[in-house]
Structure 1
Amino acid sequence: MELSLTSWSLPACSLDEAAGIAKVLGIGALDLGYFFGPALDKAALLAEPERVAERVLGLGIDLPNLYHLFGDSLSDRNLADRRNIERNLADFRQVARFCAAASIPTVFVLPGVVNAGQSRRDAFAQSAESLARLLPIAEEAGVTLTIEPHVHSYLESPALVLDLLDQVPGLKLTLDYAHFTCLGWRQDEIDVLAPYAAHVHLRQSKIGELQTKLDKGTINIAAELGVLRASGYDGRLSIEYTFQDYMNSLYDDILTETIRMRDLVRSWQA
């Protein structure tokens, strides 16, 4: 298991600066997305995926994961809304081309939300259908499709996640314990998801707070790392501290917390 840094952790930086910081910190890998200063131009990526791939390969850093958001918010064009399927499939074909050209092994998308008139199970069923149609596109490109269960999605319990994985064989997870911890799930209840992880986000959390300082949260990071290793996980551990208004994640020193998490992981590995 090696470290990565999420580009959206550094909202005031350019993409080159974010890659440079990851290198200086000895992390050597950068997850990509469409947010803030280090953002990829989504329209350009969808129009000319190979050209944008050539640009990011020039960063000279490993690129383990792309966070692809279909719309402009958690709900816009989400996978639990059947009206979006054809547009999302068309976009995802371009995303898969980009990932293949940029040697990005995993891509994560969000599972969707409970839309107007839906129950949680309605959202689940429609999302499963959407994901089942996305999966062959990723597989054909040699890319692993993952979802990140998150706060405010329809997928807010480990049991529902396991149900979805059973419904869509081959689907994997971008696993972030924080999204479950802040909702009150015990760590051992989250551990059951580790065997399905193809990518991992690391940050500290506690009930009611998606993100908090390393010494103020309740996630036992060493225990989490042990569970991941025991499950056979050998992918990236992406440190994902953020400065954004989502879930009030505005009050942490991103650089300090990133370094603290890096050092904790290195100490555990040593």
Structure 2
Amino acid sequence: MRLSVTSWSFPQLTLTEVAGLARTLGIGAVDVGYFYRSALSRDAILQDPEGEARRLHATLGGIRPANLYHLFGRTLAERNLAQPGTLKANLHDLHSVLLFAEAADIPTVFILPGIVNPGQSRRDAAQIATEALQAMLELPGARQRLCLEPHVHSWLESPDLVHRLIETTGMRIVLDPAHFLCLGYPQAEIDNLAPHAAHVHLRQARPGALQAKFAEGTINFPALFGTLREAGYDGYLALEAVHQDYMGTLHEDVLTETVRMRDAFRSWSAQDGAGAEGA
């Protein structure tokens, strides 16, 4: 298992600066997306996947791209997976995004499951999104790279729903325990999703709070790291403390929380010969 930092954790830094910060922290990889000053250009990726891949590596200067967060629209709602009538356009875009990821050697691309749209039930949203995912997984490279992040305010908010989706589609997930734990699910139940993780987000949380200071949350990180190791996970652990106007995540010192999480993993991995951090 290896660490990365999410570029959207630092909204006032350019991507070059995020890469420099990662290097300073001794972390060899960055998760990239379409947000804030570090944003990649989605339009440019869709128009010239290979060219943008070359430009990304030049910008990162030796820091590896660990993951791409792809959003189909400008918001969580626009062109979301559960919205009827969006599949054709989303498949078209995702084809180019996967070409970009292959050219840039980005191991995983994550998308969101969609929301319960006006006039829908959760069951309606689940059916449309599931059909969309089944079609997306037929695209070249999708089985190797594509994954989905269950999150608060989506239709996919419980471990049980995630298991059902996995059974139907075979889709791998981005495991962010904070999204489940803040809704009251115990860590032991969340642990059962570890065998299906393609990418992992790390931040402290507690029931009722999507993000908390490291010392004030309830996620047992040594236990989580051990669970991932036992599940055979060998991918990136993305440090994802954020400063966003979303669910009260404006109040932590992001750099301090990033360092604390880095140190928690290093302390654990130093005692675990099979799970020592790589670049």
Q: Which TM-score applies when normalising by structure 2?
A: 0.94
Alpha-carbon distance in structure 2 between the residues aligned to 1:75 and 1:23: 35
Deviation of 1:82 (Å): 2.1
Number of aligned residues: 268
User: Aligned runs of 1:236-255 on 2, under 5 Å?
Assistant: 236-255=236-255
Residue correspondence of structure 1 range 58-73 to structure 2 within 5 A: 58=58, 59=60, 60-73=62-75
Gaps of 5+ in 1: none
Q: Deviations over 1:198-226 (max 9, x none)?
A: 10000000111101110000000111111
Which residue of the partner structure matches residue 99 of structure 1?
A: 101
3-state secondary structure, aligned to 1:107: strand
Q: Which residue of 1 aligns with 2:24?
A: 24
Does the 8 Å CA contact 1:8/1:38 hold for their aligned counterparts? yes
1:124 — aligned with what? 126
- Equivalent pair of 1:191/1:227 in contact (CA under 8 Å): yes
Alignment root-mean-square deviation, CA: 1.0
Match of 1:215 in 2: 215
CA separation of 1:252 and 1:138: change in aligned 2, threshold 3 A: farther
Partner residue, 1:2: 2
Question: What one-letter code is carried by the residue in structure 1 that aligns with 2:75?
Answer: S
Give the aligned residue type for 1:163.
R
Residue 105 of structure 1 and its aligned partner are, at CA, apart by: 1.1
1:102 to 1:40, Cα distance in 2 relative to 1, 3 A: same
Q: In the alignment, what sits opposite 1:147?
A: 148
TM-superposed deviation, 1:246:
1.1
Alignment of structure 1 residues 134-213 onto 2, 5 Å: 134-139=136-141, 143-169=144-170, 171-213=171-213
Shift of 1:139: 2.6
Shift of 1:248: 1.5
Native 8 Å contact 1:104 1:143 kept in 2: no
Given that residues 15 and 39 in structure 1 are in contact (C-alpha distance below 8 angstroms), is that contact kept between their aligned partners in structure 2? yes
Structure 2 residue ranges without an equivalent (≥5): 271-279
SS in 2 for 1:88: helix
Report runs of 4+ in structure 1 exceeding 2 Å deviation: none
* Letter of the structure 2 residue corresponding to residue 151 of structure 1: V
Change (3 A) 1:240 1:263: same
The superposition leaves residues 121-147 of structure 1 with CA deviations (integer Å, 9 ceiling, x where unpaired) of 11111101101111122536x742100
C-alpha contact (below 8 Å) 1:53/1:102 kept by paired residues: yes
Tell me how far apart the structure 1 counterparts of residues 30 and 140 of structure 2 sit (CA, whole Å): 20
CA contact (8 A) 1:65 1:104 kept: yes
- DSSP-derived class of the 1:21 partner: helix
Once residues 98 and 118 of structure 1 are traced to their aligned partners in structure 2, the CA distance between those partners, rounded to angstroms, is 34
Distance 2:45 2:202 in 1: 27
Confirm or deny that 1:81 pairs with 2:60. no
Q: SS of 1:151's equivalent?
A: coil
The AA in structure 2 aligned to 1:147 is: L
CA contact (8 A) 1:144 1:172 kept: no
